[in-house]
Amino acid sequence: MTVTLDFPKIWELLKSFKDQCQSRGWKTSGFEDWVKTDDEYHNFLWIRTVHPSTFEKVAAKHKCVIRKDTSYHIVDVSYTAWLFPQTPSKKLIDTVAKNPELSKTTAIYDLSWAYEGKPVCIKLNETNSTVFEEFERFLTKKCGVRVKPSTSC
């Protein structure tokens, strides 16, 4: 017997999560995938694949663009979560796992198993982000996905 998991598309997943964040009093955007708690921005990036050098450059910047009315401005980001609907490369996982400074601000979520119908998400999250902790609870409670730590840590 095969069990199929009706896992939402990634943009629907984030929209639903951001709706939940708003109910907690956190600010979100209808245009970008970030959540603001007090004075910290927690950014979500979803991508199929990324070259490790590009990943390192983006992760090291700690910036994101915020749209306000008709203008844009750049803000400092406290934490960034990378959401992968396909398995990220081992080199990318190792880049974060072996860099203590990067692992404090960067989380990786491998959602590939959930998109294959298996209710599992592999995470690499050593941040202190309350938003990412809430995201993990959301995956479990709302989506029926068990969040497991990466064995690469």
| Domain count across the chain | 1
Percent of the chain with pLDDT over 90: 67
Q: Do the domain assignments include residue 92?
A: yes
Residue 118's closest CA among 6, 23, 40? 6
Burial class (CB in 10 A: 0-12, 13-18, 19+), 91: exposed
**Segment (H or E) for 21:** helix 10-23
Residues 46 and 115: their CA atoms lie apart, in Å, by 14
* 1-50 residue pLDDT tens: 344 456 788 899 999 999 999 999 999 988 899 999 998 999 999 998 89
The owner of tokens 């609907």 is: 85
Please measure the distance between the N-terminal and C-terminal CA atoms of the chain and give it in whole angstroms.
33
Q: Do the domain assignments include residue 4?
A: no
Q: Do the domain assignments include residue 79?
A: yes
Burial class (CB in 10 A: 0-12, 13-18, 19+), 102: middle
Q: Do the domain assignments include residue 2?
A: no
Confidence of residue 147 (pLDDT cuts 50, 70, 90): very high
Q: Do the domain assignments include residue 3?
A: no
Residues 6+ apart with CB under 8 A from 76: 41, 62, 63
The owner of tokens 């979520």 is: 109
* 65-87 residue pLDDT tens: 888 888 998 999 999 999 999 99
Range of the domain at 53: 11-148
